[in-house]
Homo-oligomer: A and B are copies of this chain.
Amino acid sequence: MKFNTNTANRKIPTELHGRKLIPFSGKGKGPYRKRKYAPKIRKVSASDNKVLKSLRKAIKKSELTDGETISFHHHFRNGDFLLNIVCHEIAKMGLKDIRLVPSSIQGVHKEILPYLEKGIITSINCGTSGTIADAISHGKMEGLLTIRSHGGRARSIENGDVEIDVAFIASPTSDIYGNINGVYGEYACGSLGYAFPDAQFANHVIAVTNNLVPFPNTPISISQEHVDTVVELDKPIGDPSGIVSTTLRITRDPKGLKIARNCIEVLKASGLLKDGFSYQSGAGGTTLAATNYLREYMISKKIKGSFAMGGATKSLVKMLEDGLFKTILDVQSFDTYAVNSLLNNLNHIEIGASQYANPFTSGCVVNLLDTIILGGTEVDVNFNVNTSTESDGRIMWGMGGHQDTAEGAKLTIIAVPLLRGRIPIIVDDVISINSPGENIDVVVTERGMAINPNSPYYSILKRNKKLDIKSIDELKKIAEDLISGKPKKPKTTDRIVAMIEYRDGSVLDVIYQVED
């Protein structure tokens, strides 16, 4: 296997599973297809009926065959049943060599593990967590896991890097003609934003619902003009209570709270925190705490922000309701409070994944973010951030919009503890890179913060005496001293099981199978 070294100093094979790889070469410098993907034109006449009671009949009608690609969205997060239901059906139908392109694989999807092992599912394109991620790390899938950010996924669908043969859309409500929204009914999950590119660019679209409502179903999040079949399923498509997963609880850990406070201190020092401020944070416990501190500060200083972006949470919605932000732009609703807000508050707006974060559009919203607070499993001395692999080398997580917001926002803050258990988080070299260091401005820990010397905010933050600023090497050393040593490198084989794309489609890193 031949390799090139990319600008993040990672060795990237020239070719992998038949695909020629373009090494990452810095933000804004990636490859760039000239034309959008041209999906199949379908034709539905006045006499045609779109509703089927049987998922199998719908799959047959779609003419899905071996070797093809199917997609899903993950707005039900750990409460999603549809991906499992469809995979079971496909397995029963004897289909094989299927590529899965969900917007995320969650713990609940462990049911599909046998299909990876049997070659029914042979590759996956998306951020993946839990059992399936672990299995892939142990070499249990024939093909490759391609990890993309939310914006990168939208890009890959819109520019044809990924051709979706059949998109399955878990539809909280649909009418007989496939007008879908996520805000009504027993199975409401809020925004359907990640499914927008699937609906627009798939060659065939199947809406699956438990809640068939009279035409026209409004508001229309996904329009009938893209939906070929509506399946009225007797089994539930998801459990909305599963939307709130463990990643979404605010931290009570004093260390986490200190990090959160430090993040807000950075924001205050940056000069960005003024009227018209725009904000997004990740969904980790610490960043949720930071949002609450931000709230208090904005109230105390009477700051009126512009837009907040989500993952929309109750915390964020409360800030909208209190006039601290003018608008929430919502690609994914993280709790019932946010779902209700999307339904009832005219300033809570559903957006699609491309509008949110696709780098190859006429302009996505992450470009307009003042600040983003993100997490990570590791950060290295070059400010590269790992979100996908744990210190033992196993894939455990995806990356959401990490890459997208980190590139787009003016000020990107990584909020991490120095140690998790006895594992140092700031290291010489991250096991794998999800966000390149060039996009990271500040790394905030409970024992001080490091500012990227290449950040445009370096000098303004550096001269602020209130901030506990250290170099990234100093932070690393504090952690190493605490555990009296350096972390061990994980043992891996030489088989590549996963690839991390940059949002533009170039390759940022590869992940090797772990040793058993």
Closest chain-B Cβ to A42's Cβ sits at a distance in Å of: 5
Among the 9-residue stretches A238-246, A356-364, A482-490, the one with 4 or more Cβ atoms under 8 Å from chain B is: A356-364
A125 near B: Cβ within 8 Å?
A: no
Whether A361 touches B214, Cβ cut-off 8 Å, given contacts A38-B35, A367-B44, is: no
Closest chain-B Cβ to A222's Cβ sits at a distance in Å of: 11
Q: Which of B34, B215, B219, B409 contacts A41 (CB 8 A)?
A: B34
Q: What is the CA–CA distance of A409 and B46 in the complex, to the nearest angstrom? A: 8
Tell me what chain A mostly uses at the interface: helix, strand, loop, or mixed: loop
A33 near B: Cβ within 8 Å?
A: yes
Q: What is the CA–CA distance of A382 and B326 in the complex, to the nearest angstrom? A: 59
**Could you mark each residue 296-337 of chain A with 1 if its beta carbon is under 8 Å from any beta carbon of chain B, else 0?**
000000000011000000000000000000110100000000
A497 near B: Cβ within 8 Å?
A: no
Residues of chain B contacted by A178 (CB below 8 angstroms): 362-363
A159 near B: Cβ within 8 Å?
A: yes
Whether A46 touches B367, Cβ cut-off 8 Å, given contacts A41-B360, A362-B178, is: yes
Q: What is the CA–CA distance of A396 and B169 in the complex, to the nearest angstrom? A: 46
Whether A362 touches B226, Cβ cut-off 8 Å, given contacts A32-B41, A159-B41, A349-B218, is: yes
Q: Which of B41, B363, B408 contacts A177 (CB 8 A)?
A: B363
Q: Which of B34, B205, B214, B329 contacts A216 (CB 8 A)?
A: B329
Please state if A45 and B28 are interface contacts (CB–CB under 8 Å): yes
- A1-46 contacts to B (CB < 8 Å): 28, 32-46
Please state if B216 and A349 are interface contacts (CB–CB under 8 Å): yes
**Could you mark each residue 359-402 of chain A with 1 if its beta carbon is under 8 Å from any beta carbon of chain B, else 0?**
11111111110000000000000000000000000000000000
Please state if A36 and B38 are interface contacts (CB–CB under 8 Å): yes
A460 near B: Cβ within 8 Å?
A: no
Whether A306 touches B36, Cβ cut-off 8 Å, given contacts A46-B408, A362-B42, is: no
Please state if B224 and A362 are interface contacts (CB–CB under 8 Å): yes
Closest chain-B Cβ to A228's Cβ sits at a distance in Å of: 5
Please state if A224 and B365 are interface contacts (CB–CB under 8 Å): yes
Chain B CB within 10 Å, residue with most, of A225, A226, A276, A349? A225
Chain B CB within 10 Å, residue with most, of A43, A48, A306, A326? A43
**Could you mark each residue 392-424 of chain A with 1 if its beta carbon is under 8 Å from any beta carbon of chain B, else 0?**
000000000000000111100000000000000
Chain B CB within 10 Å, residue with most, of A42, A223, A368? A223
Q: What is the CA–CA distance of A134 and B515 in the complex, to the nearest angstrom? A: 79
- A341-367 contacts to B (CB < 8 Å): 346-347, 349, 351-352, 354-355, 358-367
Residues of chain B contacted by A37 (CB below 8 angstroms): 38
Whether A227 touches B362, Cβ cut-off 8 Å, given contacts A38-B36, A306-B215, A327-B218, is: yes
Q: Which residue of B lies closest to A220 (CB)?
A: B349
A138 near B: Cβ within 8 Å?
A: no
Closest chain-B Cβ to A224's Cβ sits at a distance in Å of: 5
Please state if A218 and B36 are interface contacts (CB–CB under 8 Å): no
Please state if A363 and B306 are interface contacts (CB–CB under 8 Å): no
A50 near B: Cβ within 8 Å?
A: yes
Whether A361 touches B44, Cβ cut-off 8 Å, given contacts A37-B38, A38-B38, A39-B36, is: yes
Q: What is the CA–CA distance of A480 and B36 in the complex, to the nearest angstrom? A: 57
Residues of chain B contacted by A355 (CB below 8 angstroms): 223-225
Q: What is the CA–CA distance of A228 and B363 in the complex, to the nearest angstrom? A: 8
Residues of chain B contacted by A408 (CB below 8 angstroms): 46
**Could you mark each residue 130-145 of chain A with 1 if its beta carbon is under 8 Å from any beta carbon of chain B, else 0?**
0000000000000000
List the interface of chain A (C-beta within 8 A of B).
Answer: 28, 32-46, 48, 50, 158-159, 177-178, 205, 214-216, 218-220, 223-228, 276, 306-307, 326-327, 329, 346-347, 349, 351-352, 354-355, 358-368, 407-410
> Mind listing 12 A-B residue pairs with CB under 8 Å?
A44-B361, A44-B363, A46-B367, A177-B363, A216-B307, A216-B327, A223-B351, A224-B361, A224-B363, A224-B365, A225-B355, A228-B362
